[in-house]
Structure 1
Amino acid sequence: MTENQETIQTEQDKRLRKIRSFVKREGRLTKGQAAAIEKYWPQMGLNHSKQLLDLDQVFGRQAPRVLEIGFGMGKSLVEMAANETDHDFIGIEVHRPGVGSCLADAAEAGLTNLRLFEHDAVEVLADCIADESLARVQLYFPDPWHKKRHHKRRIVQPEFVQKLRSKLAIGGVFHMATDWENYAEHMLEVMQQAEGFENTSASGDYVPRPDFRPLTKFEQRGHRLGHGVWDLIFKRVS
């Protein structure tokens, strides 16, 4: 990489970090959530720093790694980690009550293959996750920023996708799901133009919900009301 390319790359990084794809809402912690953070963070928590993680050391083994961006309250993340014990899971969430709930559920389930960040996913990916170290990245029901003037805040943007691509191993997948059709169309447009990715959909657009993604209560309610959900899975091919 030339000096000019490095300068351009640095400016892109700054721009990515400046436009936030989330608004951090400080919800009130319940006593149980607070207690879970105090008790289980030393074992399951990961702190952001400008140093790449040695994931083999973090988990004490070699295994395929799955990273989820914005796990909410963590119910489905815990379920996936419990169902795929041959994989290691890393969850990123900025809302503290969700972190507390996820820790409590993970501890109750006796999980050893789950670690959590309470930080901005863009910064975690840039600073803590080594290139080609992930088998799957999950982005489920991100904030759709439905007003047109806010679309620039949507996390699925060309620059972000290329940053994420570098963290996936060749053959690794980026799995997105949304219940906003307009956002699904936006995701599809961005990913179809993204260098190094191939759509796994036989029809060239969306895929059925894969078995490994649990059906959430929110999603079940949406189905009953006739709401749609769109899944996209793109594989890194170069």
Structure 2
Amino acid sequence: MIESQEPSAPADEERHLRTIKSFVMRAGRMTDGQQRGLDQGLPRFGLELTAGAPDFDAVFGRSAPRTFEIGFGMGHSLLEMAAAAPEQDFIGVEVHRPGVGALLNGLLTQNLTNVRVYQCDALEVLRNCIADASLDRLLLFFPDPWHKSRHHKRRIVQPEFAQLVRQKLKIGGVLHMATDWQPYAEYMQEVLQAAPGFRNQAQDGGCVPRPPERPTTKFERRGERLGHGVWDLKFQRID
């Protein structure tokens, strides 16, 4: 998850700026497995924002295609993608402890080593910990659409976010977004179509068919049975 800021102010006023969060912190009860993930998995797979920009080739012990996922929830999709692509490396960011614990427990249980995890705001990670032109993919699956008009400023997808993503993707790298709310899909498409340096990978300029590399969640399957749709968008950095 990320946050966006109000328009910039003079330097001596910056500390007074009010940040607008794209997420709401929720208290959650930890299961034994989630606590095990935090206790045993964080020392192995956890990364700290305060440590600054790591050498990810050294972190993973290799140079490999690198995917960054914002807001992995309970980690089911990230686990499935990492298990299906052991030749790739994944960096996941999530603010909610139960979800972080669940992902870490899954990594331990499945003996996966190609995932690293931040428990903090993804915008700060992108700014401070990810080198420019270093990501092959950035994933944003089912972000909060903030339905009400007065809350649209909380949406993660904003012009400033698009340019930050462009800065971190390699040339040819892809931003892949998915949502189950059509008005939000149309909004995201509008923002990215207007953002310089991106090309929509949909032939008709709209959404792409569900990519096979994106796992289908239980929530999505339940929605499909009820007739709900899911919209995938892919935008490639071209310069």
1:158-173 → structure 2 map (5 Å cutoff): 158-173=159-174
For 1:9 and 1:130, locate their aligned partners in 2 and report how far apart those are by CA, in whole Å.
Answer: 26
The alignment partner of 1:80 has SS state of helix
* Deviations 1:12-69 (CA, angstroms, capped at 9, x unpaired): x989981110011121111221121111111111111262121101101000100000
Superposed displacement of residue 80, structure 1? 0.1
Q: Please, what TM-score do these two structures have when normalized by structure 1?
A: 0.93
Aligned residue pair count: 231
| Structure 2 unmatched runs, 5+ | 1-6
Listed one character per residue, the Cα deviations across residues 47-97 of structure 1 (whole Å, up to 9, x for unaligned) are 112621211011010001000000000011000001011110000000000
Task: Give unpaired runs (5+ residues) of structure 1.
Answer: 1-6
Q: CA deviation at 1:114?
A: 0.4
Work out the CA distance in 2 between the residues paired with 1:60 and 1:75.
24
Cα deviation per residue 1:84-112 (whole Å; 9 max; x = unaligned)?
11110000000000000011111111111
In the aligned structure 2, how far is the partner of 1:16 from the partner of 1:195? Answer: 27
- Spell out the pairing of 1:78-117 with structure 2 (5 A cutoff): 78-117=79-118
One-letter amino acid matched to 1:114: V
| Percent sequence identity over aligned pairs | 58
1:228/1:16 Cα in 2 relative to 1: closer, same or farther (>3 Å)? farther
Contact 2:199 2:237 in 1 (8 A): yes
Report the Cα distance in structure 1 between the residues aligned to 2:225 and 2:140, rounded to whole angstroms: 23
With over 3 angstroms needed to count, the CA separation of the structure-2 counterparts of 1:57 and 1:16, relative to structure 1, is farther
Change (3 A) 1:202 1:121: same
Residue 18 of structure 1 aligns to which amino acid in structure 2?
T
Name which of structure 1's ranges 43-52 and 90-99 shifts more when overlaid on structure 2.
43-52
Give the Cα separation in 2 of the matches to 1:48 and 1:31.
Answer: 26
**C-alpha distance in structure 1 between counterparts of 2:41 and 2:77, whole Å:** 19
Matching residue of 1:18: 19
Q: Deviations over 1:185-209 (max 9, x none)?
A: 1100000001100000011010011
The equivalent residue for 2:152 is 151
Instruction: Check 1:10–1:235 CA distance in 2 against 1; reply closer, same or farther (3 A cut).
Output: farther
Contact 1:66–1:90 (8 Å) recurs in 2 = yes
Q: Does 1:136 align with 2:137?
A: yes
